[in-house]
Structure formats: C-alpha cells, structure tokens
Structure 1
C-alpha cells in the first residue's frame, strides 16, 4: 500500500471513530471536527474535505489559516472556524496593519466561497501567562479588520478556553471563573459573538480515582446522577457546559451562546483511553447534540460541537 493511501486510511479511521454510525444518518450541520494539519499521516487537503463531506460533517475547525486547506474548502458548504496562532497574537495586538493584512490574506480573499463562521484568536491562551496580555487587544484588532472589510456581521471573533479557566465547576450552578473574564465577555456580548469552550469529561473520569462513573462520563447513565437545585444531570458533559454558563451569568452575561470547540475521548495513553470508549463517548455526544435537548440550564437548544480527531 502506498504511503498516501495508508495515510488516507489512518485519517478515515480517526473520522470513523468519531462518526461511526450516527452522523451518516443525521443532520451533520450540527457536528464539526478539527482539521488536522500538523502530522505526516494525513491525506491531501481535497481528500480530507471529501472524507468530511462523505461522512456528512458540516463544520470544521482550522487551528491556523492554512491557505491550502482554505482553498480545498472552497464551495464545499462546510462551515469553518479559522484560527489565529498563539505565536501571532503579539504582532496582531501591537499593530492594526498586521491584523488588517491577516484578515485580508486569510479571510477576505476566501469568503464567501469558503463558509467562514468564526475566527478563533489563539487557543487556550489562558494557559500562557505571557500571551494572555495580548489576547483581548488581538481580538479587538481582528474585529476592527473585519469591520474594515465589511465582514463583521458575517464572521464572529472569539477565543477558546479550557475547563481549567473555571475556578469551580461543581455543582454547575456554582460555576465561577478563576480569572477576571469581564473584558472578554463584554467583547463577545458587544459583537454578538460566542463563548468557545473545550470540554473533556475524560480527564475528570481518568483522575477521579473511581469517584466518577464510566456511565456518567460516557453518556450511558439513564437516571439522574447529580441534582443541582431543580436541575438534574445524567452526564458529565452537561455539567461542564452549564458550569461555563453559570460563570458567565455571575458576570452579568446570561445570553452569550456557547460553542464547544473541542471535545472527544483519546484511544491510547491510559487504561480508559480505548477505541471502544472513544466510540461510545463520541457517538453518544453526537446523539445528544442532534437531539436538540440542550443542557439543563439551556434546554431545547443546539450545542454546536467540534470533535478532536487527529493532530
């Protein structure tokens, strides 16, 4: 087997672990995946887009603005999140002209033939105490650049946060941020954008020493596991999502939408990181998203979700 065919099969397997059965029989417009671009074990860009289309995946997240990937996504109809690298934050924050050039080169020249929905400025910048100083200024400069290009109503600017930004996540009604997030939330609210979050029940389950059950973590519980006031939870994913929502509410922002820009379950590296668990988690999360059940705090809403597949 040629190396390219082998690489394509590896990526197809990664996608199938995510989508397995349900996504090909459902509305894939609610489900997204990350677009892996940092590995040698990937197919050509047009093949990767074809794989997503054949598996009815309607959304994709680019962690950086790959010109080749954006070219391949033209006229695909797939909604796209385009990322600004962490390494680009300082120069974009310091110079509006740099932000204007970035938007012109990576957004304006591709939109609308590439269905760009969001720009994710940085990735988990909260974890880098130096870069965090540049985050909001970079977001503001990207927003100004979008206005200059008259795209501010079509494309929204945000930044993804890990669950570690939460000072408290349990019970979910007591969710609070460990950092002052007021300025970021004000930016999102003022510009009609969304809060981007990474949610991984796997890590809580793995580190719980048995205090968190597999059924609760993998969406297999059929009865209430946690009661929080008048809200009832049977899965850990909803607990984290609602903890983020509660934390935003405590800062006066009860209506900012939330997008899960990363979730998933690993298939190696730990005894609970198995292909079966990954398939179970991913498929059950897909069912949860497609059900429009929402979460106990926001019932009856779609949880826009992107799965982490391969690097």
Structure 2
C-alpha cells in the first residue's frame, strides 16, 4: 500500500495539469458596438453560444447587451468609458456607477473584471487611473462585490523597451502610475490587462520582422533571450510585460491579453482574410495549448479582437478586425 498513494498523488497532479491545459487559461472575444448595423444583442448571445465562446470583453456597460447576457453563462470583462475616468475621483460617482451598472447584474452575470478605461495610459489621464481603480474597488466592497477584480487596459507602447523580452520596462512617464496600479493589483491578486498586436509591429517594420514570427508559424527560434527562445512575437510581448512588472516589484501580477487580432482589409497585402484567419486561429490554438517561455506553465488568458466589423470606427483597418460581418456570417472561420 505504501507505493500506491504516491501513484495516486502523481496521477492527480497529471490530471489537474491536463485540465489546466485543456481550459487554456481562457479564450474570449471583444464585442464592440461601434456599428449602426449590428445585430440585436440577443442574437449575438446565441451566436456566441453556437461558437462555444464563453468569455467576452465589453468596452462599456450597455444595458441592452447586459440584459441579453443574463444567465447566459458567458463571463464578461466590462469597461468604463474613458470620458468618465475623471469623475471616478469622486467616491459617490463610483458608488452610483457600481450601483446602476454592476449590482443589477451581479447575480446573473459573472464579471471577470472591470476595466477602468481603455488605453488611456500613456496619456493625459494616466494619473487619474489609479484613484478610479481604488474608488471602484471601494464601491464594489460596499455592495459586497469586492471579489470582482478592477484593473485597466494598457497598450504595449507603455513600455519604453520590449526587446529582448527580459529588457521589458515601463517608460519613465508612466512608471510611477504603473507602480501604484501594479502594487494594488498584486495586493489584491487582480490581473493587468494588456492590448498586444503583432500585426501593427509587422506592418510598421515588415523588412525587419519575419512574417512567420508574427503568425505563430515559425518552426525555429527567431529571438533568443538568454536561455529562452521565442518562436512568436506574441509570447515575446507577453514576457516583456512580465519583465516590466518585475522591475516595479509586481512580477506576480497576472497578464491578461484583453485585445489581439489581425485586420482582414484596409492595408493592402498586409491585411488579407487568409493572414487574419491564420493569425487568429493560431493565436487561439497557442494560448490554449501552452504558456510563454518565461512562464511555460501559465497559459495566457486572451481575447481576440473582434467579434464584428464595425462601420462607425475609423476607416481603414479599424473597420475590418471582425471575425463576423454584421449579418453574422463569417468573414473567415476560427475554431474556438
């Protein structure tokens, strides 16, 4: 019997490991609303369920969308609009926002996270983000909802350096704010949301970045960082953020990629449906199946951008990130 129990223990560990890899850390999709021809939210929820998409990110607390999501089982990252960030310096505004936007749905929707704005760091409101996070967290606790994480969505250009990944470091103008934010996130075990687009890096410097490196199709290591080898830019971006967090004493904060995608039109040969399909399908497969070289046992929770082509966004590539047309037919197929 003495040799039996260790075997059971090892088996349990292996089963847990397989289950974690099967869940893949979570794959979702961004559901934007900047279109005047989008389908009703109730139809969108049915579409999401039919495609086995169980996590979404919303950029604002739209009442019609939230009503449709009730009891759907779909997990939600929900954002505050950027224009409201200054008002969140007042605790009463934060409490009213939570009372009207979150409390009515807290029993029927699982909120993965509340994001204070979207990509306002770096920028003129950088210093306002941390007070807003604090006040929303305080407001949530006043309604016994303190288990809902509060964070913010930060772009890769908040880093002064990112290559090789171990050199990742926040730029000097945002570092004080990021130290406050990341310290709070670490203390509360909340994630940091990051928007990461290998597409934009490649489109900016196609002569110096191999296409297979951005499409997850390179069979060989492209970037060596000490003993760590990188076959794709996505992993390099994620690990650069982890390195930047380490440098401000918050290396334990989880990085969630709340946006990553590839446009299917708008920039010539850089934006074809085949390139978009290849990137997004390989992205989904990659984050479900493995971690990064720096954190190989930690799958990266990732949200594809985006659900629909949105005709009220800026003309060009911004209107063509969708996996679906507004009539809910596929622009191209991605298996979730």
Rounded to whole Å, the distance in 2 between the matches of 1:300 and 1:158 is 23
Asked if the contact 2:88/2:135 (under 8 Å) is kept, the reply is yes
User: Which residue of structure 1 lines up, in the alignment, with residue 157 of structure 2?
Assistant: 164
1:33–1:308 Cα contact (<8 Å) kept: yes
Q: Confirm or deny: 8 A CA contact 2:196 2:237 kept in the other structure.
A: yes
Identify the residue that residue 107 of structure 1 maps to in structure 2: 102
**Structure 1 segments (4+ residues) deviating >4 Å:** 26-29
Deviation at residue 29 of structure 1 after TM alignment: 7.9
2-side partners of 1:300 and 1:134: how far apart?
35
Take 1:36 and 1:261, find their aligned partners in 2: how far apart are those partners?
A: 13
Displacement of 1:27 after TM fit? Answer: 5.7
Change (3 A) 1:76 1:29: farther
Does residue 59 (structure 1) correspond to residue 52 (structure 2)? The answer is no
Taking the aligned partners of 1:58 and 1:241, their CA distance within structure 2 comes to 23
Q: What does residue range 192-271 of structure 1 map to in structure 2 within 5 Å? A: 192-270=189-267, 271=269
Displacement after TM superposition at 1:209 (Å):
3.8
Q: Which residue of the other structure, out of 99, 117, 125, is the alignment partner of 1:122?
A: 117
CA RMSD of aligned residues (A): 1.3
Alpha-carbon distance in structure 1 between the residues aligned to 2:25 and 2:169: 31
Q: 1:41 Cα shift?
A: 2.4
Q: Distance in 2 between matches of 1:80 and 1:29?
A: 15
Q: What residue in structure 1 maps to residue 74 of structure 2? A: 78
- TM-score (normalised: structure 2): 0.82
Distance 2:106 2:92 in 1: 20
CA distance, structure 2, for counterparts of residue 174 and residue 27 of structure 1: 30
Q: Which runs of 5+ in 1 are unaligned?
A: 1-25
Structure 2 spans left out of the alignment, 5+ residues? 1-21, 311-336
Distance 1:284 1:64 in 2: 28
Count, aligned residues: 282
CA distance in 2, matches of 1:285, 1:76: 25
Separation (CA, whole Å) in 2 of partners of 1:145 and 1:96: 7
Instruction: Report what 2:283 is aligned to.
Output: 285
Q: 271, 280, 300: which is aligned to 2:297? A: 300
Where does residue 135 of structure 2 map in the other structure?
141
1:90 pairs with 2:86? yes
- Structure 2 Cα separation of the partners of residues 53 and 79 of structure 1: 12
